[in-house]
Amino acid sequence: QVQLVESGGGLVQPGGSLRLSCAASGTMFSRNIMGWYRQAPGKQRELVARISIGRSTNYADSVKGRFTISRDNAKNTVYLQMNSLKPEDTAVYYCNAKPSWYDSEYWGQGTQVTVSS
């Protein structure tokens, strides 16, 4: 039904930038709450950023002012612009969708972001 495919991860130096994209298939993309999560080895998966149907956003304190989540409903895509990257941002980043019309959620396969000199 709903499939999520992330892209844009890679290796970047501290202070650099990356933009992650999540392309969604399925129906009614505009009625999904979309989010980005990340998980580093040995750590719990954590919410990085979320964007609502009405495009309100919230962010983890650790990324506020550096990351921006956005959505383009016409393209069924959600983005995560990551600036001023730090080594502690290194993790696998996952796209998440929560449909508003039924109780379920969907995850992408994850994309690796490595911030290192």
Burial class from Cβ neighbours inside 10 Å (0-12, 13-18, 19+) for residue 7 reads middle
Q: Do β-strands 10-12 and 111-115 pair in parallel, antiparallel, or remain unpaired? A: parallel
Paired residues of 82 in beta bridges: 18, 67
Question: Average model confidence (pLDDT) for the chain?
Answer: 96
Q: Say if CB 14 and CB 117 are below 8 A apart.
A: yes
What percentage of the chain exceeds 70 in pLDDT?
A: 100
Q: Is 80 exceeded by the pLDDT of residue 21?
A: yes
Tokens representing 69 are: 């989540």
Closest of 39, 36, 19, 21 to residue 85, by C-alpha: 19
Maximum alpha-carbon separation in the chain = 44
When pLDDT is averaged across residues 16-35 and rounded to a whole number, the result is: 93
The CA-to-CA distance between both ends of the chain, in Å, stands at 40
When pLDDT is averaged across residues 66-82 and rounded to a whole number, the result is: 97
